[in-house]
């Protein structure tokens, strides 16, 4: 895939390439239980993904695009759509903060940090 996409449903997408990308699988269910004979069992209710998007140098315009999406999701409660090379997911901002919080001065202002999205 050449670009990842993130956007509010019905309002278009922001196209981007993160500097780092992780997609850990989260298992929702009971803890692991062991029987007397040593076998293990876990009741799995559902699985979902968490998406970790790391950025080293994000321009001011890109930063503002992500901030607008963050506000629409958190303040207005709108669903987000995230597209990677394996599929399309309905997500929400998975961390309490915005994630892009380190400001780097150069000839222009650049931002860095990690955005965490969680599949609904």
pLDDT tens for each residue of 15-54: 999 999 999 998 888 888 888 888 888 888 888 999 999 9
Q: What is the domain partition of the chain in residue ranges?
A: 4-119
pLDDT the model gives residue 89: 95
**What is the pLDDT at residue 36?**
85
pLDDT of residue 1: 55
Q: Rounded distance, CA 15 to CA 4, Å?
A: 6
Structure confidence by residue, pLDDT tens digits, 95-120: 888 999 899 887 888 999 999 999 98
More confident residue, 92 or 31: 92
C-alpha distances in Å from residue 70, one per residue of 49, 94, 98, 100: 19, 10, 7, 11
∠ CA 54-118-26, nearest 5°, is 100
* Mean pLDDT, range 73-86, rounded to an integer: 92
Mean pLDDT of 77-102: 91
Report the distance separating Cα 66 and Cα 44, nearest Å: 34
């Amino acid at each position: 895939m050449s670009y990842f996409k993130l956007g509010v449903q019905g309002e278009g997408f922001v196209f981007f390439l993160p500097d780092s990308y992780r997609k850990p699988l989260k298992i929702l269910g009971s803890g692991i239980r062991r029987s007397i004979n040593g076998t293990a069992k876990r009741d799995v209710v559902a699985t979902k993904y968490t998406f970790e998007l790391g950025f080293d140098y994000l321009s001011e315009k890109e930063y503002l695009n992500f901030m607008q999406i963050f506000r629409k999701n958190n303040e207005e409660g709108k669903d987000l759509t995230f597209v990677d090379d394996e599929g399309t997911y309905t997500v929400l901002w998975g961390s309490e903060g915005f994630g892009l919080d380190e400001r780097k001065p150069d000839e222009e202002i650049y931002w860095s940090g990690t955005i965490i999205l969680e599949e609904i």
